[in-house]
Each structure stands twice: as structure tokens, then as C-alpha cells.
């Protein structure tokens, strides 16, 4: 269960706080041109998460450029539409945690009802700036050994915090504690969740240690937090 939770933090993007969202999430940028290499402004570019079926759409600027700066890691389909051009679709783009990826699209003249599908890997080179960045595939996260030592599991988030280009805004240990507390808050909001199960899923050997940490950072016990949340939902 703990392995599933840690994978979810990375693959689903459970947390979106400004202090660490950009370091865990991926970005996708590119440029749209025609067959002659000329820029295509005002083209509609859409990325769709195949896992969650959620889409985000932007419009290219005068230089044909587009950018999606904060995407959850996962698999995406990208589509491009512009007046006077055939529709462009690229499927199965795999974006990794902490990856800055690039996709350039070349449009062909024709009816927009005609669809051109492309299958290719995204460029993993960071051509937009001199920063060094690396990504982590979900399969690697799932293979991390989850050995508990003194109540602290080996954490997938800690693994990411040591990658080049990651800035958590705090020490790795403080960053991990913050994630564990926020994961606890999310889990306690689920109907029928048990405090002991939440504590165990986050790597705590006993419920009392979990309660002390939670109260230190939230200000109330997990039980009171759970009751307050349910009262607010009923109002």
C-alpha cells in the first residue's frame, strides 16, 4: 500500500503546492511550423492525459511557440489544429517527473478533417536553457526497496529530491515530512479511512508516532482533523 501511495504522489500529482510542484512535475514545450518551416501562429495545441482524460489547451504565439509548464508525469496525447492545415496528432508521449520535454509539430496543408497521426518519442534534451535535468520513470519508482528503518521508509520523493535541477525549498528531510503530512490529510478525507491504516501506509511503525507528527505540523490530532473535515462536508 505504501508503494502505491508513493507512486501516486509522482504519477498523479497529488500535491500542487508552489514550493515543490514545479520540481516534481514535467513541462512540455515546442514549436508549430508548416512544411516550408514557416511559423504557424494562433494554432490550437491540446495535451490530454490518457490516464485521467483531462485536457489543457493553449494557442501558439507569433513564433509558433507553445508551452505547458506544469504537467503531471504520465502519458499524453498531443493534438494541433490550425486553419488551412490537416490536424496533427501525436500519441503516447511519456512525460517523466522533473522532465523538460520538447515536441515540434510540422503541419501539412489540407482539410482540418484529415488527421495526421505521428508516433515518436519526445525529446528529452533541455534546449531552452542550460539547466541539467533528469526524469524518473514510474517503473523505477515502483522498484525502489521500501525498507523501514527507525520508522522512516526509503522514500520515492526523497529519491527525486536528489536529481539535478530539483529545488524543494527546504532540506530533503523537511520536504519529505511535509509531503507525508499532506498525504495524511488527503487520506483522512476519504470515507471510511482508518487512522491506523493511514499511519501504516505512510511508513509509521505505530499510530502514536504518526499522531505526534501530525499534531506538530497541523495543530490538531488526526482524529479531530477527520471529524472537522466531515462536519464541513455536511454543512
54-113 per-position pLDDT tens digit: 899 999 999 999 999 888 888 899 999 999 999 999 998 888 877 888 999 999 999 888
CATH 2.60.40.10 domain extents, the chain: 25-118
Q: Where in the chain is the domain with CATH 1.10.10?
A: 2-22+137-234
Spacing of C-alpha 6 from chain mean position? 12
Task: State the cell numbers at 120.
Answer: 515518436
At 202 the pLDDT is 77
- Asked whether residue 181 carries a pLDDT value surpassing 70, the answer given is yes
CA–CA separation, 189 vs 187, rounded Å?
5
Query: Would you mind telling me the total number of residues written for the chain in this entry?
Result: 235
Q: Which residues neighbour 97 within 8 Å (Cβ) at sequence distance 6 or greater?
A: 10, 24, 25, 26, 73, 135, 136, 160
Task: Tell the CATH topology of 2-22+137-234.
Answer: Arc Repressor Mutant, subunit A (1.10.10)
Confidence of residue 197 (pLDDT cuts 50, 70, 90): confident
* pLDDT band for position 235 (cuts 50, 70, 90): low
Which H helix or E strand runs over 10? helix 2-11
Q: What is the pTM of this model?
A: 0.49
Spatial CA neighbour of 116 closest among 149, 69, 82 = 82
The CA–CA distances, whole Å, from 87 to 38, 47, 110, 115, 227 equal 17, 14, 9, 5, 51
Report the pLDDT value the prediction gives residue 167, as an integer from 0 to 100. Answer: 53
Range with the lowest mean pLDDT among 93-97, 126-130, 230-234? 126-130
Other C-beta atoms closer than 10 Å to the C-beta of 167 total 11
Place of cell 483531462: 54
CATH of domain 25-118: 2.60.40.10
Question: Residue 15: is its pLDDT beyond 50?
Answer: no
**Per-residue burial over 16-48, b = 16 or more CB atoms within 10 Å of its CB, e = otherwise:** eeeebeebbbbbbbbbbbbeeeeebeebbbbbb
Torsional class of 200: left (φ above 0), alpha (ψ -120 to 50), beta (otherwise): alpha
Q: Please provide the average confidence, as pLDDT, over all residues in the chain.
A: 74
Give the bridge partners for 77, in sequence order: 48
Amino acid at each position: 500500500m505504501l508503494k502505491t501511495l508513493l507512486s501516486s504522489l509522482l504519477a498523479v500529482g497529488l500535491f500542487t503546492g508552489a514550493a515543490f510542484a514545479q520540481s516534481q512535475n514535467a513541462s512540455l514545450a515546442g514549436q508549430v511550423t508548416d512544411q516550408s518551416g514557416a511559423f504557424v501562429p494562433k494554432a490550437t495545441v491540446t495535451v490530454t492525459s490518457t490516464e485521467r482524460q483531462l485536457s489543457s489547451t493553449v494557442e501558439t504565439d507569433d513564433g509558433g511557440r507553445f508551452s505547458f509548464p506544469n504537467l503531471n508525469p504520465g502519458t499524453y496525447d498531443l493534438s494541433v489544429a490550425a486553419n488551412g492545415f490537416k490536424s496533427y496528432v501525436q500519441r503516447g508521449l511519456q512525460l517523466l517527473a522533473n522532465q523538460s520535454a520538447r515536441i515540434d509539430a510540422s503541419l501539412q496543408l489540407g482539410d482540418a478533417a484529415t488527421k495526421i497521426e505521428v508516433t515518436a518519442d519526445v525529446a528529452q534534451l533541455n534546449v531552452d536553457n542550460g539547466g541539467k535535468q533528469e526524469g524518473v520513470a514510474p517503473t523505477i519508482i515502483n522498484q525502489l526497496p521500501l525498507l523501514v528503518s527507525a520508522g522512516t521508509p526509503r522514500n520515492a520523493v526523497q529519491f527525486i529530491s536528489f536529481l539535478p535541477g530539483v529545488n524543494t525549498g527546504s532540506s530533503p528531510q523537511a520536504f519529505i515530512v511535509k509531503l507525508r503530512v499532506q498525504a495524511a490529510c488527503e487520506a483522512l478525507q476519504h470515507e471510511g479511512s482508518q487512522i491506523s491504516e493511514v499511519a501504516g501506509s505512510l511508513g509509521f511503525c505505530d499510530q502514536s508516532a504518526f499522531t505526534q507528527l501530525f499534531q506538530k505540523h497541523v495543530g490538531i490530532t488526526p482524529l479531530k482533523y477527520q471529524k472537522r473535515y466531515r462536519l464541513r462536508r455536511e454543512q
